[in-house]
Amino acid sequence: MVFMGVRAASAQEPAAPPPPSTGQPTPLVNPSQNPPSPGLPSKQMPVISITSGAVHLVATVVDRHHNFVTDLDQNDFHVFEDEQPQKISFFGRETNLPLRIAVLLDTSNSIRPRLKFEQEAAIDFLNNVIRRGKDQAFLMTFDNEPDVIQDYTDNVDQLSRAIESQRAGGGTALRDAIYAATAKLAKAPLPPPPELQVRRVMVVISDGDDNLSDRSQSETLEAAERGEVAIYSISTSTDWLAIDTDQPKKYMKTRGDQVLEQFADLSGGRVFFPYKLDDLQESFQDIGAELRSQYFVAYAPTNAAWDGRYRKIRVDIDRKGLVVRTRKGYYAVAPGSSTGGQ
C-alpha cells in the first residue's frame, strides 16, 4: 500500500469543547446598524441581536448509507436541553432561506502544492450553491492574516475571478480567519421584506494547520457558535493518505484534519476529505443538497432563566438507523439583548 505525506502534524493548541451558539432565537441583524464589514476589531466578539425567546435549530437527517431523509414529521423529533425534554413549537421540512456564505481559502505556504485544488474546490462549490438574486457570498483568504478579497455578491463569475487570482505564501492564521468571518457573517446584508432572515454558512478550504493566529481554538469555536454559523470544512491535506486503492482515503487524521472536523461537528456542519477532483465535486453536491434538505425546529426552553450559561442540545429521531446533525447547544442570553464581549 502506498501512503503520501507521512509526517507529524504541526503542534496546535488543544481544542477545548466550547459552548455552542447564542443559540436560542434566530439572529436578526439591523442592516443600518451593522453594514457589511470586511473585518473585526481584535477584541470584539461578533454581535447578534436576539429578538425572541425561542431556540431555533436547523437539522440534517441521514440514514446509514448517508442518504438525506426528508420525509419526517414533527412527531419523529425529540429535543432535549440539558437532558430535559422540550416541546417543539415550530417545525418545517425545508429551509429555503437565502444563504449568506463565507468562503475561506487558505493561501499559506503549507498548501502551495494544493492551491489549484483549493481554487477549483471553491469555484465548484459556488457554482453548485449560489442562486442569483437570492444568495450572496464573500471570499476571504488567509495566510499571515485574514483578508477579504471580494465582498458580498451573488455574481459567481466575479467571485471566481477573485479566487483564481490568488497565490500562496506566508504562515497560517486559520483561527483568526474563522473568527473574523463569523463577525462579517453576523453583519450580512438582509433580503428585502418580508423575508428578513438568512442562513449563515461558512466553507473553510484548508489543511487545518495554524501557526500564527492570536485567537485560541476554544475562543474561535465559541465565536462561531455564538454567531450560529454552520461550518463546512474541506481538508486539502494529503498526509496519511492511502492512494493505491480504488478510492484513496485517509487511514489517520492529522491534527489539522481534527481541527477542521471539530469546527464542523460543533456547528452542525460537516467535514470532507476529498483527494481527486471527482471527490471534490461529489462533496460540494452533498453540501448543496444538504442545505436544501434540512428541517427547521424551534422550541421555547422550559428553563426560563436567561443567565448567559451554555446549554447542551440533543435531538433524537424515532426511526431507527437515522443520524441527526445539528448544533450542540447555545448561550442563554435574554431576548432583546445582544451577545458580545471582550
Q: Which DSSP string do the residues of 185-211 spell out, in sequence order?
A: HHTPPPPSTT----EEEEEEEE----S
Percent of the chain with pLDDT over 90: 54
pLDDT-based confidence at residue 150 (cuts at 50, 70, 90): very high
Weakest mean pLDDT among 41-45, 214-218, 329-333: 41-45
Grid cell, residue 215, equals 485567537
The CA-to-CA distance between both ends of the chain, in Å, stands at 51
Sheet of 249-250, strand order: 3-4, 241-242, 249-250
Cis-peptide, bond into residue 20, ω within 30° of zero: no
Rounded CA Rg of the chain: 19
What is the per-residue burial (b if ≥16 Cβ within 10 Å, else e) of 231-252?
Answer: bbbbbbbbbbbbeeeeebebee
Place of cell 468562503: 103
Q: What is the mean pLDDT of residues 288-315?
A: 91
Is the pLDDT at 46 greater than 80, yes or no? Answer: no
Place of cell 486559520: 174
**In terms of C-beta density within 10 A (0-12 exposed, 13-18 middle, 19 or more buried), how is residue 196 classed?**
middle
pLDDT digits (tens, 9 = 90+) for 108-138: 998 998 898 889 888 988 998 999 999 999 9
C-alpha–C-alpha distance, residues 222 and 23, integer Å: 11
Spelled out in words, what is the top-level CATH class assigned to the domain 97-291? Answer: alpha beta
Domain ranges of the chain: 53-95+295-339, 97-291
C-alpha–C-alpha distance, residues 36 and 219, integer Å: 23
Q: What is the mean pLDDT of the chain?
A: 81
Residue 107: which of 98, 117, 95 has the closest Cα? 117
